[in-house]
Amino acid sequence: MSFHEKSNIAMLVVTGGAYAWYFATSAGVLFGGATSPEDALDLTNTKMLVTVGIIIIASIVANIAIAMAAPSEANENADERDRLVEMRGDQRGGFVLALFALAAMASAMTAQPYVLIANLVLAGLVASELVKGVSKMVDYRRGV
C-alpha cells in the first residue's frame, strides 16, 4: 500500500469516528431537545470546535506514524494514478456536497432553526469527505 492510500484510510477512520461521535451526541439537541435555540447553538458550537480540534490532532499524529513506519514511501511524489484517484474522489464527493447544499438551502427557505441548517451544511461536508475517501479506497484497490 502506498503512503497516499494509508493516509486516506487513516483520514476515513478519524473523520468517520469523530463525526459519528459529534452527530450521535448532538442528535437530541438538533432535533428539538429541551434547550432553547441559543443554548443549542452554544452547545453545538463548542462540540463542533472540539471535534475539529480532535480531527486535526489525530490526523497529524496518524500521518506522522504512517510516515515514520515507511519513510521512503512518504517522500514519494504523487504519480499520475494518484492524481486520477484524487480527481475521481473529488468529483464524487462534490456531487454529494451539492445535494446537501440544496437540502440546506431548502431548510433555510422553510425557516428551519439556524443550528439545524448549520449542522446540515456540516453533515454535507462530512458526507462529501467520506464519499471521497471511500471512492479513493475503492479506486486504489481496483487499480484505476
Domain interval for residue 66: 3-142
**d(Cα 117, Cα 108) in Å, to the nearest integer?**
7
Give 53-72 pLDDT, tens digit per residue: 999 999 999 999 999 988 87
Is pLDDT above 70 for 47? yes
CB-count exposure of residue 57 (10 Å: 0-12, 13-18, 19+)? exposed
3-state SS class at 2 = coil
**What is this structure's pTM?**
0.83
User: Vertex 10, ends 132 and 51: CA angle to 5°?
Assistant: 85
More confident of the two residues 97 and 1: 97
Residue 45's pLDDT is 77
Number of domains in the chain: 1
Give 88-111 pLDDT, tens digit per residue: 999 999 999 999 999 999 999 998
Q: 101: which 3 cell numbers? A: 447544499
More confident of the two residues 23 and 106: 106
DSSP string, 87-105: HHHHHHHHHHHHHHHHHHH
**d(Cα 56, Cα 132) in Å, to the nearest integer?**
18
